[in-house]
Every structure is written in structure tokens, then in C-alpha cells.
Amino acid sequence: MLIGLDGSRAFLKERTGIEEYSYQVIKNLRENLKSAQVFLYIRSDQKIDFTLPDNWKIKIINWPYLWTQIGLSIELFFHPVDVLFIPAHIVPAINSKNTVVVIHGLEYEFVSEAYPWWERMYMRWAIKKSCRRAQKIIAVSENTKKDLIKLYKVPEEKVTVIYEGYNADAKSQIPSASWRTKFQIPNSKFLLFIGRLEERKNIVGIIKAFEILKEKYKIPHKLILAGKAGFNYKKIQSCLSNSSYKSEIILTGFVGEEKKQELLKNAEVFLFPTFYEGFGLPILEAQNAGVPVVASNNSSIPEVVQFPRAKLLEFQELSSRNNFSALLVNPKNSQAIAQATSKLITDKNIRDDIIKKGWENTQRFSWEKCTIQIAKLLEG
């Protein structure tokens, strides 16, 4: 059997959500695709930073524009494979009769104002086309599966839900003593958001919640926003400039894995009240680091932080008797975000409960579990 893997999104220098998913899945598939001949397609300027098994072969596709639709299509036309795996949305025009594509979410359909019009149109066209071209579709959550069926009329039997994993090994990394100096962070407590600084991530709402926390709850904390600028960043800049607490809001820019872990391990609360998510991987990363989370009560997030009923019985002695491993709020209500954050700062029982549930919740997810299921789908 010949299996082709699209690695074009996996080996970027600054990976965010979908790129990190592609990287981790391909890296972990090495242990699960041992009986087939595997071709890993990458761009000419990309390098792989891990060793490959003997049955894997790198194929560099040197094509400057429309890499997937033209470059990868040409490769597959002259050298077809039995199964093609696309870990990030877009299936090439020429593909395999057995193509498997991962759909990460339809956020642009629910928060349309957070995307440029041309990007919405392209994503809608491309993902609909990918769903028709693929023989099997992987949705990263039940919520994403539901959205595909409802909005794009994808047959239910065509979609398999396979949850994402997270980098559990990051917990063992040792922060350097100078991490605060690196980020120019004073020796104080802080709240943390990690992700692209764009409208869909509700950065303005987070800033407003921080202002309420400073004014009403008198917290001494700083707010750290870690990530690259995204769509409508000017609106975020305007909000920052007009904030009475702008001197206590720190922008770090993009952070790599090591620096991200340093921030997570030292954060007081992780804030992720975004408007819509296909999965919400940063929540698991925060929980793995022992940080309590305030997140949205919408889209896939309740599903990702749902605490197993059997485990819930172990925590009945604690004050926060709910079946979620994070405090969930309406992302459009900055007052609610602030109130939930204040609870995690001031109420030790609730804080300990959420931290312990968060750690237990992460045990449901791993890249190993994710890729075992993907490999079965590819080889089946």
C-alpha cells in the first residue's frame, strides 16, 4: 500500500493551531504506519526535524504558487498513491480514490465579521469542495461534525470524529531562570492568553474583562497576550491604546514551545473566551501545565472540557460541583469573564477543583490516541 501525507503545513517555523496539529500528527504517525510505503510531501524550503522510518520517503515538490492545487496535483497525477491524507482542510484537484481530509472547524461561518470577505468565500468554497472530493472526513470534534452535516449537508457516515492530542511531555520541561527577563515581565502575577491576536479570539473582550478586574476586583495582576497579530488587529491596538491599564498589558509576539511553557507554568489564570473554536487545543496545554482555565460556553469547548461522569464523583468534597474542567462563560459578556477569573484567583476551593479536574481531563487526549485512530482509518 502507498500512502501519501501532505506535510506542507507541518514544517513552518512559526506554527499555530492547524500547523501544530499537522506537525504532531505526522510526527506520531511514524509509530503507526509501519506496514505501508509512505510518501511525505513537503515544500522546497522546508526541513524535517525528526528522523523517519525506512519505509518513509520525502518528496520535495518545488512549486511556488498554489502548491496544493497545482504542485501536489501534478505529483499525484504522475505518481498516484492508494491513500492520500490531508491534515489541513484543502484536498488537491487531483487526489487519490481514497482521500482522507481533516476539517478543523467552520468558524468563519459563525463569526463572519472576524474574517476578510475573500477569505470567507475561499474557505467556504474550498472546504465544501474538499468534503466532496474526500472519501473520508475527520472532524476534530463532535461539534465540527454537527456543523459539517448541518451547513454543508455532508453525509453523517462519511465523517469520523477523532479528537486532537496535546504535547503532554511539555510538562517536564524546566523553565529557565531568566524567563521574565526574556519577556520583559516584572516579578508579578499575571493572566495569560495564547493564540493569534485577532477578532475571533475576542482579544477586545479579554482586555475589557481585565479592566473590570482591575477596577472592581482590585487585582494586582498583569495581562499577557502572547501571539502574532491577526485580522482586524487595528481594532485591538485601538482598544489597547485607550485602556487605562495599557501599561499593565504585555504583548510578547509569537512564542515558541519552550517560551510558551514558561508562560503557562507561571500564569495565574489562562483566558480563552473565544467566539468559536473547532477544538481549542490551548485549553489542554494550559490544563497540562496546572493552570485553571476560563473559556467560552459555545462551539466545541464544552465538549473538550467535559469532565467524565465517573471521575466527577471523586471531587464531590470540593465546592465547585460541576461537570466541566474549566469555568465556562458567555464570551460576549466581559463582566462574566471577569467574575469567573476573580473566582479562580480568590477562592482556593474552586481553583484547586478546576486545576485537578483540568489535569484529569487532559488524560482523555493524546497525540498517540489521535494517530492510532488516524492510522486505522488510512490503512482500513
- In the chain, the percentage of residues whose pLDDT exceeds 90 is 82
Residue 15: pLDDT band (50, 70, 90) is: confident
**Shared fold status for 2-165+366-379 and 168-362:** yes
Residue 34: pLDDT band (50, 70, 90) is: confident
pLDDT at site 62? 93
Residue 17: pLDDT band (50, 70, 90) is: confident
R_g (Cα) of the chain, nearest Å: 21
Q: Is 30 exposed, middle or buried (0-12, 13-18, 19+ CB in 10 A)?
A: middle
Element (H, E) at 249: strand 249-253
pLDDT at site 177? 53
Least reliable range by pLDDT among 132-146, 236-250, 307-321: 307-321
Distances (CA, A) of 324 to 128, 143, 302: 33, 16, 7
pLDDT at site 170? 62
- The domain made up of 2-165+366-379 is a member of CATH 3.40.720.10: no
Q: What is the pLDDT of residues 109-127, one digit of tens each?
A: 999 988 999 999 999 999 9
pLDDT at site 323? 83
Q: Which CATH superfamily is domain 168-362 in?
A: Glycogen Phosphorylase B; (3.40.50.2000)
**More confident of the two residues 321 and 307:** 307
Residue 183: pLDDT band (50, 70, 90) is: low
Please give the Cα distance from 210 to 202 (Å, whole number). 12
CA 96 vs. chain centroid, Å, equals 28
Q: What is the pLDDT of residues 36-64, one digit of tens each?
A: 999 999 999 999 999 999 999 999 999 98
Residue 16: pLDDT band (50, 70, 90) is: confident
Q: Are 188 and 223 within 8 A, CB to CB?
A: no
Q: Are 331 and 275 within 8 A, CB to CB?
A: yes
Ordered by start, the domain boundaries in the chain are 2-165+366-379, 168-362
Please give the Cα distance from 92 to 170 (Å, whole number). 34
- In the chain, the percentage of residues whose pLDDT exceeds 70 is 92
pTM over 0.85: yes
Q: Is the pLDDT of residue 343 over 80?
A: yes
Residue 316: pLDDT band (50, 70, 90) is: very low
Residue 304: pLDDT band (50, 70, 90) is: very high
Please give the Cα distance from 34 to 11 (Å, whole number). 22
Phi, psi of 59 (to 5 degrees): -125, 110
Beta-bridge partner residues of 253:
226
Quick one: average pLDDT of 317-346?
A: 86
pLDDT at site 320? 45
Q: Is the pLDDT of residue 174 over 60?
A: no
Least reliable range by pLDDT among 93-97, 166-170, 181-185: 181-185
**More confident of the two residues 181 and 358:** 358
Report the candidate in 366, 352, 350 with the shortest Cα–Cα distance to residue 285: 366
Q: What is the pLDDT of residues 185-240, one digit of tens each?
A: 766 799 999 999 999 999 999 999 999 999 999 999 999 999 999 888 999 999 99
Q: What is the pLDDT of residues 61-100, one digit of tens each?
A: 999 889 999 999 999 999 999 999 999 999 999 999 999 9
* Count of other CB atoms within 10 angstroms of residue 135: 14
Q: Is the pLDDT of residue 172 over 50?
A: no
Mean pLDDT across the chain, nearest whole number?
Answer: 91
Q: Is the pLDDT of residue 289 over 80?
A: yes
Distances (CA, A) of 258 to 169, 203, 272, 339: 11, 23, 20, 31
Which residues make Cβ contacts (< 8 Å) with residue 270, sequence separation at least 6? Answer: 191, 192, 193, 194, 264, 282, 283, 286, 291, 292, 293, 294
3-state secondary structure of 103: strand
Please give the Cα distance from 199 to 193 (Å, whole number). 14
Q: Is the pLDDT of residue 258 over 90?
A: no
